[in-house]
Structure 1
Amino acid sequence: MSYTICSLNLNGIRSAERRGFSRWLKRTKPDLLCTQELRATPDQVEPELWSPAGYNTRWQCAQKKGYAGVGLFMRASVDAHSHGCGLDWADIEGRSLRADVGDVSVISLYVPSGSAGPEKQKRKDAFMAHALPWLAKLLAEKRKLAICGDWNIAHTEIDIHDPRGNAKNSGFLPHERAWFTSVLEQGWVDVLRKVHPETKGLYSWWSNRGRARETDKGWRIDYVLASPALAETVEDAWIEKKAGLSDHAPVFAKFAGDLR
C-alpha cells in the first residue's frame, strides 16, 4: 500500500479551474493535496470545486479578498485540523493549515514573497525568523508530518536556472538559502532531493515574463518536507511540469503505508 502527497500553488483556484484543475484532480488523485494561493472563499466557487467528490476539504482563507489562502483536499477522514503558525499578521493572511489523518499530518504552507520590494522582504524575513522555532516545535512531535508548500526560496544552485544572475534577487538571497539550510539541519527532509539528490532542472515555478516556461528557465521553490519518521517511508518523488494549472507545477511525493 502507498499514498501520495502533493503540493500545488494554484495562483488562484478559479484561474486554475479554468485551466482544468478538476480534471487534473480526477486524473492524478493525490491522497493529500496541499494548495496555496486559493485567492477565493468557498462561497465564491462552485460547490464541486470547494468540495470535490471523494475529498474532505479544509480551507484557510485570508481576510483580504482575492489574496493568499491555503487549502487541503484529502481522500481520507480528518481526525483534527488547525490553522496558523502563531504570527498574527501571517495567520490572518491564511498562510498555514494543518490536518491530522490517522498517524500522518500535513501542513499547507505559503511563505511570503519578498520580490515586490524592501518592505515585502522585511516581512518575509520576519516570517522566517518566527517560523524556525515553530518548525522545530513541530518536529519535536515525532509524528509522520509533511510540510508542503510554496517556500519562495530556491535552496541550492541546482534549484534555479541562473544562480549567478539571481544571486541578488529575493528567493535566492544568501540569508534565505542559509535559513532553508537551517530548516533541514533541524531534521526536516527535502523529499525530492532524497530521491533525486543531484538532478538539475527540477523546477516548480516559472516567471510569466518572457518565455521562461517555454525555455524552462525556472526555480524550485515548492517543496514537500518530511519529518524523519515520514521520510523513512518515501518511495518516490517528482514534479509534473506539464500540468499547466498555474505558474507553478505540482510537486508529488509517494510514501509507503495506508491512510485509511
Structure 2
Amino acid sequence: MKLVSWNVNGLRACVNKGFTDYFKEVDADLFCLQETKLQEGQIDLDLGDGYKQYWNYAEKKGYSGTAVFSKVEPLSVRYGIEEDSEPEGRILTLEFENFYLVTLYTPNAKRDLSRLPYRLEWEDRFREYLRGLDAVKPVLVCGDLNVAHNEIDLKNAKGNHNNSGFTLEERGKMTDLLAAGFLDTFRHLYPERTDVYSWWSNMPGVRARNVGWRIDYFLASARLAPKITEASIACDILGSDHCPVVLELELELA
C-alpha cells in the first residue's frame, strides 16, 4: 500500500502547478492533503480510477482545510477530535479494516509565539485522541505537524532555536507523541540522513540552496514497524512551499 501526504498551500493554485500530473504518476492508494484553502463547491477535482473524496473545510474562507482521496471506501469518517466537527478543518480520520488513517494540519504557534499556548494544549488533546484509536487498531498519522523534531531536521538549527516550529516546547510535544507508542517512519528507516526537507521559505533562492525544514511526517503505531518498506520525501516535486512525503508498507487497504 502506498500513501502520500502533501501540504499544497492552496489546492486551486497547486492544481495549476502540476498537482494532477503528480497525483496520477504516484498512483497512491491514499492521498492526503493539508491547507486546501477552499470551501465546498470551489473546486471540481476529477481524480479518476474511482477515488473517494473526503474533505474537512475550515469555516474561515481561504484558510487551513484537509482532504483524503482513497481508492477504497472507509468504514467510517470522522471530522475533528472530541466532536465530529472542527472549525479550522485541521483533521480527518478514516477507519479501515486494518488501521486508522489520520491526516492533520497542526496549528502554527505563529512567528511571535502568540498561539503557542493553544498549540501545546491542542497537542495534548491530539495525543490522547491517537492513543484512544491505537487501543482499538493500529494508526497511521500524516500531515504538516509544524515542527522540526531534532536539529537534523532543519538546515539552520542554531539560528532557529526557540523560533516557531523549533521551540523546546513544540519539540517536546513531538517527543511525547512518539513516546506514546508511535514512530517517525522516515527516521525509523533513515536515522542519520541529512539535508532532506519538506518545507522551504518562499524567500528567493532558499529552496534552490535547500535551506529547509522537515515538518511533514508519516507517523505509525510502533507495532507496524515490521510492515514499513519505504518512507521518502519527494523534494523534486514543486507546486507548493512544501513537497509530498510518501509511505509504503505491507498492509492491506480494506
Shorter-chain TM range is over 0.9
Deviation at 1:47, TM superposition (A): 4.2
Deviation at 1:87, TM superposition (A): 7.2
CA distance in 1, matches of 2:22, 2:160: 32
Structure 1 residue runs of 5 or longer lacking an equivalent are none
Name 1:46's counterpart in structure 2: 44
2:81 to 65, 78, 85: 85
**Superposed counterparts of 1:84-233, under 5 Å:** 84-86=80-82, 91-141=86-136, 143-233=137-227
Aligned AA (2:95) = D
Deviation at 1:252, TM superposition (A): 0.6
Structure 2 residue runs of 5 or longer lacking an equivalent are none
Let me know the Cα RMSD of the aligned residues. Answer: 1.7
Name 1:255's counterpart in structure 2: 249
Asked whether the 8 Å contact 2:120–2:173 carries over to 1, the reply is: no
CA distance in 2, matches of 1:38, 1:199: 30
Aligned AA (2:5) = S
Deviation at 1:72, TM superposition (A): 0.3
Asked whether the 8 Å contact 2:138–2:221 carries over to 1, the reply is: yes
SS for the counterpart of 1:165 is: helix
After superposition, the C-alpha distances for 1:27-61 in whole angstroms (9 at most, x for unaligned) are: 0011111110011124001242xx54431110010
Query: Are 1:71 and 2:67 an aligned pair?
Result: yes
Aligned AA (1:44) = Q
CA distance in 1, matches of 2:142, 2:160: 24
CA distance in 2, matches of 1:246, 1:56: 23
Percent of residue pairs bearing the same amino acid type: 34
**1:207–1:168 Cα change, 3 Å:** same
After superposition, the C-alpha distances for 1:56-102 in whole angstroms (9 at most, x for unaligned) are: 110010011111011001112222111101279x9210111011223
Aligned AA (2:51) = Y
**Superposed counterparts of 1:26-41, under 5 Å:** 26-41=24-39
After superposition, the C-alpha distances for 1:116-174 in whole angstroms (9 at most, x for unaligned) are: 32322232222123223223222222x23201010000001100001100002010111
SS for the counterpart of 1:232 is: helix
TM-score by length of 1: 0.92
CA distance in 2, matches of 1:254, 1:109: 19
After superposition, the C-alpha distances for 1:174-204 in whole angstroms (9 at most, x for unaligned) are: 1111111111111101101111111011200
